[in-house]
C-alpha cells in the first residue's frame, strides 16, 4: 500500500512538472504530492516508530533511504518558499526554483528506489 501511494506521488510530481507553465495546475499537483508525501512520512513514523529504529543502528541502505527522505522534505519546503515568491512576482527565483526542482527530483527518485530495498519491520 505504501509503495502504491509513493508511486502516486511520483505521478503527481510528473503531472506537476508537465504543467509547470500553467501555474494553477502546477500548484495543485505539487501541493497534492507534498501533502501525500508528508502523510506517508507521518504514517510510517506513527506506525513503525522509524526515528527510534534509525537511532538504534541500522543497515546502510536504510540510512540512505532516511537521509533522502529528510532531504526531500526539506527541499519540498524550499520549493514551496520559492514557489510562493514566484507567485508574488519575484522572477529572480524562477531559475533557482527549476534547479532546486531537479535536485529534489533526484532525491525523491533515490527515496523511491531505496524504499523497495528495505524490509519493513
pLDDT for the residue numbered 58: 79
Report pTM.
0.87
The answer to whether 68 and 110 are in contact (CB under 8 A) is yes
Query: Average pLDDT by consecutive 10-residue portion of the chain (121 residues)?
Result: 94 96 95 95 82 69 91 96 91 91 97 88 58
pLDDT for the residue numbered 55: 60
pLDDT for the residue numbered 52: 62
The answer to whether 15 and 21 are in contact (CB under 8 A) is no
Q: What is the CA radius of gyration of the chain?
A: 15
The DSSP result for 37-67, as a single string, is HHHHHHHHHHHH-HHHHHHT---HHHHHHHH
pLDDT for the residue numbered 118: 86
The answer to whether 64 and 110 are in contact (CB under 8 A) is yes
pLDDT for the residue numbered 67: 93
The answer to whether 111 and 62 are in contact (CB under 8 A) is no
Amino acid at each position: 500500500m505504501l509503495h502504491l501511494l509513493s508511486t502516486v506521488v511520483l505521478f503527481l510530481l510528473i503531472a506537476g512538472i508537465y504543467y509547470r507553465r500553467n501555474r494553477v495546475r502546477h500548484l495543485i499537483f505539487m501541493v497534492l504530492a507534498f501533502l501525500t508525501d508528508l502523510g506517508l512520512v507521518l504514517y510510517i513514523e506513527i506506525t513503525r516508530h522509524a526515528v527510534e529504529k534509525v537511532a538504534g543502528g541500522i543497515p546502510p541502505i536504510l540510512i540512505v533511504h532516511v537521509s533522502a527522505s529528510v532531504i526531500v522534505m526539506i527541499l519540498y519546503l524550499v520549493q514551496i518558499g520559492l514557489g510562493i515568491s514566484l507567485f508574488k512576482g519575484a522572477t529572480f527565483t524562477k531559475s533557482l526554483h527549476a534547479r532546486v526542482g531537479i535536485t529534489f527530483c533526484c532525491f525523491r527518485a533515490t527515496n523511491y528506489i531505496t524504499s523497495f530495498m528495505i524490509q519493513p519491520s
